[in-house]
Structure 1
Amino acid sequence: MSSDVTTLHDPVAGLRAELDNLSPHASPCRYLVPAKWAAIRGSGIDFCDRLGAEAHRLGWTAAELFAVHPEHGTLRIDCCGALMIGGDEVHGVEATRIVTARGSAYRNKARQVWGVPIWEFTKPGTGRA
């Protein structure tokens, strides 16, 4: 089975593929230094591999995990997904929080305004990045 077919049937594989398509060396957001981006990207890929299925089961969305502000990227952390802020290793996923090496990131669906997944921020023709 090709990877394209797999990602259609496996949402976690689709998220991982989106991250894989972004360069680890070139930051997709202005003001996000390449070294920090490399850590965030690596942590996101590791998260998908180890905890992605559980996150999907618990209802975490691409935006809740990988969003950035549609114009200001990671500068507006109030619109960022749980995995787009620190780049820390994720130790666990729960229904309302992601536990990292240095803390937790929470979701509050009722009040949170999410940005766009990082791979949407970098799409050609969007006027971003």
Structure 2
Amino acid sequence: MLQAETTFDDLSPDAAEWKRRLLTLRADRSPCPRLSASAWATLLASALDFVDRFGSEAAALGWTASQLFGVHPQHGTLRTDWCGALMLSGRKASAIDARCVTFGNTGAYRDTLGVPQGMPIWEFAAKQGGR
């Protein structure tokens, strides 16, 4: 399992819970079909980095686990239309506001009409038997 530097006490309750859940996932074992272990390790590292740097702010802005870490309930990351902001590219976030997580010159918006909400990746992994 990965270990990040920010302690749980440094995070808001929601962000601390996100970090706890992410740390239950193995970096060397992708929970999603057709997502390589190396791509998964990058996604997971970027998600943990986000929680450490922006998690408390994201929670205060009203972002949810599904909006950040969501994946399709049956197909995981294969259905990118269901993916949360941090389950798409593996790039590290550079900023967050009430509407968007920014990754350099691109962003993931949470208020796009018609976009379905996925389940948090840790729930998907548990459903898959820990894959």
Fold match by TM threshold 0.5 = yes
How far does residue 111 in structure 1 lie from its aligned partner after superposition? 2.7
SS in 1 for 2:108: strand
- Give 2:4's aligned residue: none
How far does residue 101 in structure 1 lie from its aligned partner after superposition? 3.0
Map Cα deviations across residues 55-75 of structure 1 (whole Å, 9 max, x no partner).
011100000000000001111
- Give 2:54's aligned residue: 51
Alignment of 1:19-34 (within 5 A): 19-34=22-37
Q: 2:54 is aligned with what amino acid?
A: L
Equivalent-residue separation in structure 2 for 1:128 and 1:73 (angstroms): 13
User: How many residues matched?
Assistant: 122
Q: Which structure 1 residue ranges, 4+ long, deviate > 2 Å from structure 2?
A: 109-112, 126-129
- Root-mean-square deviation (CA, aligned residues, Å) is 2.1
Question: What residue ranges of structure 1 are gaps of 5+ in the alignment?
Answer: none
Q: 1:55 is aligned with what amino acid?
A: A
How far does residue 112 in structure 1 lie from its aligned partner after superposition? 2.3
Matched, 1:96 2:77: no
Equivalent-residue separation in structure 1 for 2:122 and 2:129 (angstroms): 13
Task: Give the structure-1-normalised TM-score.
Answer: 0.86
Alignment of 1:15-94 (within 5 A): 15-94=18-97
CA distance 1:98–1:32, change in 2 (3 Å): same
